[in-house]
Structure 1
């Protein structure tokens, strides 16, 4: 099994999306629908590895393993040590029950798997499956066995949610990882969403943006971060595959967050500022050598429903691109859901972004 990582929400700005969750009839509780195993064994010892839960002490060795997987799969990114540690962090995560690492005879990690269900999921409960097998240990059935364990644990976690809404097992696969694509397809997963990574050459002059009519673009500030979370939940509540972020989950995964590259659009006409839109960016230095250029990455872009069709998204992106350029970056990057009917792909193309690679979300719908 090659490494698979969950993608961030796709940037978007649309006043009347039609890709929100469709109304559903009353469903039975997830526990009655997902066929969760009562008992779950790790992959067989006959495959050559000894299995146990991941611990914090494994982070450095897991980083080495993930790098080997990403290099073998020609991934356009590298996961650094801080990001590996973040995989295990979060009060909603049950790492002893939701993770496995496979050790060889010398105690070196050769495979790993993790299952996560995020705490805010309310419309569709999702179990994200991440993992990888060292390239020298592939072709032995380890990936199939690890994915089967992850699917079983995912079904258990979905059942444990106690909710009566749709449920989904999720694996994200880079286009360059043909092995993972074959693996998950053989296991019954189907591609349900496609994403495109885009970049914009910052040597090309930035476009002018129209005045925002009472809104002001300002740098991100920590005192407004929970307001940004609430704006995000509003902006994405009609977006396919998105679920509300809780206070804790919103604060997680910030090791690469770049406050100086992140901007808010504020409506200050009332008693207190209202976050109308936001562009939150990150700095992935470890990817620059892999891709051959420096860049800033806008990971989350959103506009509240009441402020759409006013040019907020272009203004925020240009503010971020200007900050990237001022700090010597060569490119601006982002990801987009290619099936989003909001016209986001066209917006980014008009701003000068070009597609450079892609990925897909594979799922089992339950």
Structure 2
């Protein structure tokens, strides 16, 4: 591969990937909305082993059937056992952003009782082939990046560090580990829980509860804050609407820091999925996004926003707060969270294949 070649030359012509074949899977086909529960069932069964402290909600699967940049009839496959059980699935989703880098996220799962029989290998081969087809299809439509070189493209797979299967499959398919992430937890209840610090806002700044009339402002603030974060691409309006309009997002726990003009300078956005409470062993809220727009960095706004959300979570009677952080974040987020009482628990890794 040469980065000087245009993307169309690097990926070639689009090639329709053949469906997998495996003796333990009677039928492979692409997905329909009727398969949402089947896909979720396979996902949850695998997650109980791969990362038992949290569970992906059904709504996360359902959303993929309702976003304009995803075509499940081409982007997702599902495998069925002869007895009618769903046993495997795989999805390859090309991010809708078109700003110099294209990213295809690959993920899938196999029922644990059928692990180590080669089904995952077949799913992975299809995923890579579908991802390359997606890139080949979009390459001719991309504008020239005048003075900025050629379009970059990559495929990404994420896995918890304790997961041995996904890294093995990823490396066999030409992926390499590129970035590590840490899950962190903070106690908000119990004798050992530290009080949430009360922080003073800088002059001209104020902390407010999130309200939905700021949805679009918050999306734009998020995109600005994450422009220089590894692997981050702009959040599209449709995807953002699914997030802030979803049943798990908690505006009452989320906080915005506003400047003197009322513009969003920082944010801390949280959600609650009660299905995770049993697996974690405590009621909790997940902090999805923390960011400071670039014009307001280095003013202590991130801890200000986080402390506001932590106090709201504690006031709601929830026992813990959970978040994930890039261990090499350019903002030094890992150290920031430790200073606010979070402790590291689990790690995950991003495997990347550059095209």
After TM superposition, is the score higher than 0.5? yes
Aligned length: 339
Structure 1 position 337 matched with structure 2 position 323 = no
Q: CA deviation at 1:250?
A: 1.6
Residue 120 (structure 1) aligned to one of 92, 97, 101: 97
Structure 1 position 285 matched with structure 2 position 260 = no
Residue 41 (structure 1) aligned to one of 14, 18, 23: 18
Asked whether the 8 Å contact 1:119–1:249 carries over to 2, the reply is no
User: Any stretches of 5+ residues in structure 2 without a counterpart?
Assistant: 143-149
Structure 1 position 355 matched with structure 2 position 344 = yes
Q: CA deviation at 1:36?
A: 6.0
In structure 2, do the counterparts of structure 1 residues 216 and 75 end up closer, same or farther at CA, with 3 Å as the change threshold? same
Q: Secondary structure at the match of 1:242?
A: coil
Which residue is 2:138 aligned to? 161
Q: Secondary structure at the match of 1:84?
A: helix
Which residue is 1:231 aligned to? 221
Q: Secondary structure at the match of 1:33?
A: helix
Which residue is 1:72 aligned to? 49
Which residue is 2:180 aligned to? 194
Residue 142 (structure 1) aligned to one of 119, 124, 130: 119
Q: CA deviation at 1:118?
A: 1.6
In structure 2, do the counterparts of structure 1 residues 232 and 74 end up closer, same or farther at CA, with 3 Å as the change threshold? closer
Residue 104 (structure 1) aligned to one of 81, 95, 100: 81
Which residue is 1:312 aligned to? 301
d(CA) in 2 for partners of 1:341 and 1:36?
Answer: 37
Q: CA deviation at 1:326?
A: 0.8
Structure 1 position 294 matched with structure 2 position 294 = no
d(CA) in 2 for partners of 1:328 and 1:31?
Answer: 54
CA displacement, residues 97-135 of structure 1 (integer Å, 9 cap, x when unaligned): 111000111222100011111212423210000100001
d(CA) in 1 for partners of 2:309 and 2:104?
Answer: 32
Q: CA deviation at 1:60?
A: 1.9
Structure 1 position 205 matched with structure 2 position 230 = no
Residue 240 (structure 1) aligned to one of 230, 233, 241: 230
Asked whether the 8 Å contact 1:232–1:302 carries over to 2, the reply is yes
Asked whether the 8 Å contact 1:73–1:176 carries over to 2, the reply is yes
Q: CA deviation at 1:240?
A: 1.7
Q: When the two structures are superposed, what TM-score results if normalisation uses the length of structure 2?
A: 0.91
Q: CA deviation at 1:87?
A: 3.0
Asked whether the 8 Å contact 2:92–2:105 carries over to 1, the reply is yes
Q: When the two structures are superposed, what TM-score results if normalisation uses the length of structure 1?
A: 0.88
